[in-house]
Chains A and B, each alone.
Chain A
Amino acid sequence: MKNIIFDFEYLAPKTLEEALTLLSQYDEDERKVIAGGQSLLIIMRQKLITPKYLIDIKGLTDLDYIKFDKKEGLKIGALTIHRAVEKSPVIQKEFSVLSEMEQNLSNVETRNWGTIGGDIAHSDPCGDPIPVLIALNARLKMTGLNGERIVDAEDFAVDFYETVLQHDELLTEIQVPILPPNTGVKFTKYNQIEGDLALASVAMSITLDENKKTCSDVRIGLGGVAPAPMRAKKAEDILKGKKITDALLVEAGQAASEEASPTTDIQASEEYRRELVKVLVKRVGSEALARAEKA
């Protein structure tokens, strides 16, 4: 009963600097960072990882915030719990797609303890936040002892559970720019049981020109259909500069489904996932378009 989880040395830094110092002190293979632990504790129980040192950063309350500024946009501290993102009035008003994404992210018990930064840094290819952040043109701030750097959300995850985070860096902030005028954003994930990870997910942001006729910009984020969440640039190119019709969305869905690189696993086959991308791009695209027309 007692050894559900293998023993480790527990370290609970009080400040970000203390946490970064600890990170730099231990070998990457020996230590692991825990925030809410909603994903990490599962793989620790499965003994897939057995860190010698566990660095608990959940107590770093300085990284728990949601700030909004009409020029700078939205800033979310990495240790903000999912539930706070879901329920934030300013997010519901200015970036409703983020709140909608959170409503179906796992279940309320997970959202009450798990953090958005922990979710992103864990970098499950089927996770929900990154595809939405790709569509929103978000950036991620990482902090190390030598300073900060910022990457586009689409460049953060590089492979299954692999990110560009360096050995001594922590993800500290999610930055979402103000949406351009006439923009609609929508996210949908397909799963068999509510709250599960996505078999495939699509987030789309469509910006229309001032006459609301043609698509001046579009961003498409895909989840669950590649080793890491990805941007479907070929599909975007099909829509950009054109009047979006159902037929064009079908074409974009086809392109997205071809540029995705899903794998077959116990949940779904590669073909099935490609088909999902095709269907979802069309569905999410028309909903994002409708929102852009109303924006």
Chain B
Amino acid sequence: MKKQLKFVVNGNPYDIWIEPRLLLVQVLRDELGLKGTHRACDEGCCCVCTVNIDGKAVKSCSVLAMQANGKEVTTIEGMKNGAELHPIQQAFVDNWAFQCGFCTSGQIMASNALLKENPTPTREEVQHAMDGHLCRCTGYNMINEAIRDAAGRLQAQKAQEKTK
């Protein structure tokens, strides 16, 4: 029996009826058409499907969609501002932080949550916060560099906004 799910995704309110057995990743991709959130292991082992719920990084394959009721979800599609990439996205581009790109949306969503909590993480802190994320191209060093570069960009952006 379908159940009502009311939640906000990337700033847009949704009021939909879904089968309660659906995982959040299924609802995002198949019901809302947000294919930027990828599915890989489906077992909570790789963090590829990471999104933000109320600003925190979670694995969308390990959350029952119904549990997102009343919550605010952000996916990779919600990151850019109009045509402009989010500073984290731009830092990933500039630092060659992806190769095949399959794990990137999850990496960026985890970075987004990390940098909100810890705006200036060290290399080790990034490593620990990202330790669930698998990148089969093994570009881990560049990813770590991109995240710390993004931290700097976000700090600079904040400072600029203050002086405005």
A contacts, CB < 8 Å to B: 1-10, 12, 34, 37-38, 41-42, 45-46, 54, 56, 58, 83, 103, 106-110, 112-113, 194-195
Contacts and interface: CB of A to CB of B under 8 A. Distances in A.
A103 B30 CA distance: 34
A18 B67 CA distance: 18
A108 B129 contact: yes
A112 B64 contact: no
Contacts of A113: 53, 56, 58-59, 62-63
A215 B30 CA distance: 60
27 contacts: A1-B26, A3-B21, A4-B21, A6-B21, A7-B19, A9-B20, A10-B3, A12-B66, A38-B62, A42-B43, A45-B43, A46-B43, A56-B67, A108-B57, A108-B110, A108-B129, A109-B110, A109-B132, A110-B59, A110-B62, A110-B132, A112-B56, A113-B53, A113-B59, A194-B131, A195-B131, A195-B132
B59 A109 contact: yes
Nearest to B52: A112
Given A4-B42, A8-B20, A109-B58, A37 B64 contact: yes
A109 B50 contact: yes
Interface of B: 1, 3, 19-23, 26, 30, 42-44, 47, 50, 53, 56-59, 61-64, 66-67, 110, 113-114, 128-129, 131-132
A78 B1 CA distance: 29
A45 B42 contact: yes
A50 B53 CA distance: 27
Nearest to B131: A194
Contacts of B57: 108-109, 112
Nearest to B25: A4
A107 B128 CA distance: 8
Given A107-B131, A108-B110, A108-B129, A41 B64 contact: yes
B106 to A, nearest CB: 9
Contacts of A195: 131-132
A248 B60 CA distance: 48
Given A109-B110, A113-B59, A113-B63, 4 more contacts: A2-B30, A41-B61, A42-B62, A195-B131
Given A41-B23, A110-B132, A1 B44 contact: no
Contacts of B131: 107, 194-195
Contacts of A58: 67
Contacts of B47: 107, 109
9 tightest A-B CB contacts, nearest first: A107-B132, A10-B20, A112-B56, A5-B21, A109-B59, A194-B131, A113-B58, A109-B57, A112-B58
Contacts of B23: 4-5, 41
A4 B60 CA distance: 13
B28 to A, nearest CB: 13
B123 to A, nearest CB: 15
Given A107-B131, A109-B110, A8 B21 contact: yes
Contact of A110 (B22, B26, B44, B113): B44
Contacts of A54: 20
B148 to A, nearest CB: 17
A109 B129 CA distance: 9
Contacts of A8: 20-21
Contacts of A108: 57, 110, 113-114, 129, 132
B21 A37 contact: no
B75 to A, nearest CB: 14
A39 to B, nearest CB: 9
Contacts of A112: 53, 56-58, 113
Contact of A106 (B1, B42, B132): B132
Contacts of B53: 112-113
Contacts of A2: 19, 22, 26, 30
Nearest to A114: B62
A37 B62 contact: yes
Contact of A10 (B61, B62, B66, B129): B66
A85 to B, nearest CB: 15
